[in-house]
Chain A
């Protein structure tokens, strides 16, 4: 009798446990399966770092949304990267400095308001003005009067860019502070999007539910967790959405998103986690895309440090570059989601846009014997050891930095020639880089703003340019960039930029490592999935079965 009661106790506990888990299972699986009906695609998302304003969004997650709800004067063709006219009827110039922009007729915002020259002028003035804290303000830096509305120190002395004038409802003029022949091609960047009056009159409401002029409208936005975008039926452009809408779901961990995809709860994951790359073929088969994106990874050096800025330094840097077995690292660690770099741009530019495979030549090819010789001729590694700083919190940088160091150590025959130096968070890493606190090398990366060769060179290597963190300076390079910017013939401009790039090959101010690819996986429900040069899925082209 005693035993029986006790057994009942145990059974009771087990039953409670089982019942609890079982009803959990039943309840949640009933709502499962796919992303929803009516041609809606569910896609992974990350919480945007900044408020969703066009001139304030500088990362992919916010960029995804802007790409769906906005169309600017130009748009980069998702396949070729060429800047084609979208809202611009024509952009004319005689001297590469004064431009006249004509906006196409018949475009409206999704709330019915007409897109006019004023929509652009107001938006750009807002983006440039210092007190609006727009992180992409520097995009307007070429326009005359920028130094007044956005001075380096102190407060603004003007509210509006003096170089920007609306002539009539569909025309406005832009005066740049310097000649810049490729300037119209930069206008495909979301920062140059037009804004409706609602943005200025009720800003808080606009940010909580943005209104734009793109193929989608925001249906519902729950900050930090999800956003529902629906097809805008009255969208006047040619690139209408081919699905009913997109549901973006915030994932804290891309591994979970990938698991959801394999379980059939999600349609599209646009960032396959590095740890899953080995399984991706088995899990998804041909529903995995791996295409070049406009990102190049490099190793940068501190030229503000005396010991790095020596005449023999060129040989050391070239030697180090030759000591890195790029092919092996991209194959083994990145599972071919990176391509060994042989110039300082990106394959997404295409041959015409200025990408030239092998421009760097021998210094970017693995050659252990020459590497050792060059480093010795150059006086050895400054300080006896190369420290490569990286941020340890995201992006699995540790693996490849260790691999690069391994490769260098092996080539130089010295086990202490190179070590990785982890920094806890990305923010701390960036602040050390920008405040010139690093005395050794660091991992650097450049994600293009627009697919132009100019964008890969000028902001990063021009004297005192905004992202020239190593403070490298070379008169010959600067001169060639200036010359290229003043060149009215596009092909000639590109070759002049390539000449400037050859200076980089001779000087090796940063070591190019590899071009980064964008990767994505998708479910059986959807087809026609592709990534553009910014590794953002081309949402409007996705078709639902």
Chain B
């Protein structure tokens, strides 16, 4: 187990460098970021040159990358064009996005898995068909449509929620955005769980458990669900990374000042420091989530062993 973890951690190193290099190159390909700083007019050449040398943009790209990575390992992610430290931006943005992701994941687990279990056990019944059709509808509607619609109905028409989230973004204000963010994944989780449960419900160990006279609840939760969760856990694990990075649309609709907002603004202003910094952290989150998922397999299914 320990050796497995170490091997996985070592594998992360090339992935980490590869992704950051790719992002760094992509941001640089977009062109000269200084040109966009002066509105419709041309920056005066002296100030532009001064800014370029201050941000190190006058050096070749490989040298910029090396300097940047060197700084990252000392905890310095650089400075955004508005004079704020990128670490400062991260400190305000990540807690908000993490809260949003937690809300979304909780929705996925609670609603998604419950619906999956119910439909899986009652395959072919009206409940099953209804939920299947509903998930199909949810999957086929893009997030921004769901988001704008809920915002308009709940926020403006019925006045149940505030259409936008305040800068502090407490949990209760994030419930609707979290639901919107989770909606598509939630539908997938339902379908995955349903298939898995339906398949395993006919397995020998379930029949044995029922024959032993175990209460039905125990059969479903301890035996059936635990074994059926492996594909679901994989999905949710990779989804953590996807939700954190992919919240751009939801964050824009509900005016949440999280990672998506900073990334969007960074891209628009071609602020390589912000974009690379945030993506680097997202890459780490993604790698960590994947590792945890793999380790969870062994917990869920004792047949899986890591040597």
Point out residues on A near B: beta carbons under 8 Å: 2, 5-6, 9-10, 12-13, 16-17, 20-21, 23-29, 31-32, 47-51, 58-59, 130-131, 133-135, 137-138, 150-153, 207, 222-226, 249-253, 255-257, 259-260, 262-263, 265, 393-394, 424-435, 444-447, 459, 466-467, 469
Q: Given the complex, which residues of A lie within 8 Å of B262, measured CB to CB?
A: 224
Query: Is the CB–CB distance between A263 and B38 below 8 Å?
Result: no
Quick check: is B289 within 8 A (CB to CB) of the other chain? no
Q: Which residues of A contact B251 (CB under 8 A)?
A: 252
A134 to B121, CA, bound (A): 68
User: Which has the most chain B C-beta neighbours within 10 Å: A153, A428, A447?
Assistant: A428
Chain B residues near A134 (CB-CB < 8 A): 47
Assess whether A223 is in contact with B44, with CB atoms less than 8 Å apart: no
- Interface pair A153/B49, CB less than 8 Å apart: yes
Query: Which of A10, A223, A427 has the most C-beta atoms of chain B within 10 angstroms of its own C-beta?
Result: A427
What are 16 inter-chain pairs, A to B, with CB distance below 8 A?
A2-B216, A9-B114, A9-B118, A13-B110, A20-B175, A23-B172, A24-B176, A25-B160, A49-B269, A133-B47, A152-B45, A256-B255, A260-B162, A265-B163, A425-B36, A427-B35
Report how far A261 CA is from B32 CA in the complex, Å.
37
Shortest A152–chain B CB gap in Å is 5
Contacts of A426 in B (CB 8 A): 36, 268
> Is A256 within 8 A of B41, CB to CB?
no
The winner among A31, A138, A263 for most chain B CB atoms within 10 A is A263
* B54 and A133 within 8 A (CB): yes
Interface-centre pick from B46, B179, B267 (highest chain A CB count, 10 A): B46
Give, as a whole number of angstroms, the nearest-CB distance from B55 to chain A: 10
CB distance from A53 to the nearest CB of B (A): 9
Q: Identify the 4 closest CB pairs spanning chains A and B, nearest first.
A: A427-B36, A24-B175, A431-B35, A27-B172
Binary flags per residue of B140-165, CB closer than 8 Å to A gives 1, else 0 = 00000000000110111001111110
Closest to B30 in A: A428
Nearest-CB distance from B307 to chain A (Å)? 39
Closest to A297 in B: B40
| 17 additional A-B residue pairs with CB within 8 Å, beyond A25-B176, A50-B37, A135-B38 | A16-B110, A31-B166, A49-B82, A51-B82, A152-B45, A153-B49, A223-B84, A223-B88, A224-B92, A252-B251, A256-B151, A263-B156, A263-B163, A425-B267, A428-B30, A428-B36, A446-B40
Instruction: For residue A39, give the distance in angstroms from its CB to the closest CB of chain B.
Output: 21
Given contacts A2-B216, A130-B46, A256-B254, contact A430 B36 (CB under 8 A): yes
The reply on B231 being an interface residue by CB < 8 A is no
**Chain A nearest Cβ from B175, distance in angstroms:** 3
A59→B155 contact, CB < 8 A: no
* Chain B residues within 8 Å of A223, by CB: 82, 84, 88
Complex CA–CA separation, A152 to B43 (angstroms): 11
The total of chain B residues at the interface (CB under 8 A) is 74
Alpha-carbon distance between A48 and B176 when the two chains are bound, in angstroms = 29
Q: Do the beta carbons of B217 and A5 come within 8 Å of each other? A: yes
Which of A9, A21, A59, A130 contacts B39 (CB under 8 A)?
Answer: A59
Nearest CB of B to A165, in Å: 24
- B261 interface residue, CB < 8 Å from A? yes
Report if A49-B164 is in contact (Cβ < 8 Å); known contacts: A16-B110, A256-B255. no
A263: B residues at CB distance < 8 A = 155-156, 159, 162-163
Known: A251-B255, A263-B159, A263-B163. A47 touches B175 (CB 8 A): no
Residues of A within 8 A of B8 (CB): none
Q: Which residue of B lies closest to A430 (CB)?
A: B35
**Closest CB of chain B to A468's CB: distance in Å?**
9
List the interface of chain B (C-beta within 8 A of A): 30-47, 49-51, 54, 81-84, 88-89, 92, 107, 110-111, 114-115, 117-118, 121-122, 127, 151-152, 154-156, 159-164, 166-167, 172-176, 179, 216-217, 251-255, 257, 261-262, 264-265, 267-270
Say how far A293's CB is from chain B's closest CB, in angstroms.
Answer: 13
Contact across chains for A48 and B82 when beta carbons are under 8 A apart:
yes
Rounded to whole angstroms, the CA-CA distance of A482 and B33 in the bound complex is: 34
Residues of A within 8 A of B163 (CB): 256, 259-260, 263, 265
Q: How far is the CA of A425 from the CA of B152 in the complex (A)?
A: 30
With A13-B114, A459-B41 as known contacts, state yes or no: A27 contacts B253, CB within 8 Å: no
Rounded to whole Å, the gap between the CB of A92 and the closest CB of chain B is 30
Q: Is the CB of B164 within 8 A of A424?
A: no
Shortest CB distance A512–B (Å) = 15
Which B residues touch A21, using CB under 8 A? Answer: 175-176, 179
**How close is A142's CB to chain B, nearest CB, in angstroms?**
14
CA of A207 to CA of B84, assembled, Å: 11
Interface residue from A10, A51, A130, A207 paired with B118 (Cβ < 8 Å): A10
Given the interface pairs A225-B92, A467-B41, the reply to whether A133 lies near B255 with Cβ below 8 Å is no
Distance, CA A24 to CA B82, complexed state (A): 34
Contacts of A225 in B (CB 8 A): 92, 167, 257
A444 and B40 contacting across the interface, CB-CB below 8 Å = yes
Q: Which residues of A contact B162 (CB under 8 A)?
A: 28-29, 31-32, 260, 263, 265
Residues of A within 8 A of B30 (CB): 424-425, 427-428
Residues on the A chain within 8 Å of B54, using CB: 133
The winner among B81, B82, B122, B264 for most chain A CB atoms within 10 A is B82
Give every chain B residue within 8 A of A32 (Cβ-Cβ). Answer: 159, 162
* A130 and B114 form a contact (CB under 8 A): no
Shortest Cβ distance from residue A381 to the other chain B in the assembled complex, whole angstroms: 25
Q: How far is the CB of B197 from chain A (nearest CB, A)?
A: 12
Q: How far is the CB of A26 from chain B (nearest CB, A)?
A: 8
Q: How far is the CA of A72 from the CA of B151 in the complex (A)?
A: 43
Contacts of A427 in B (CB 8 A): 30-37, 268-270
B81 touches A49 (CB 8 A): yes
A72–B110 alpha-carbon span in the complex (Å): 59
List of A residues within 8 angstroms of B39 by Cβ? 58-59, 447
Expressed in whole angstroms, the minimum distance between the Cβ of A124 and any Cβ of chain B is 16
| B155-A259 in contact (CB<8A) | yes
Contacting residues, chain B, for A133 (C-beta < 8 A): 47, 50-51, 54
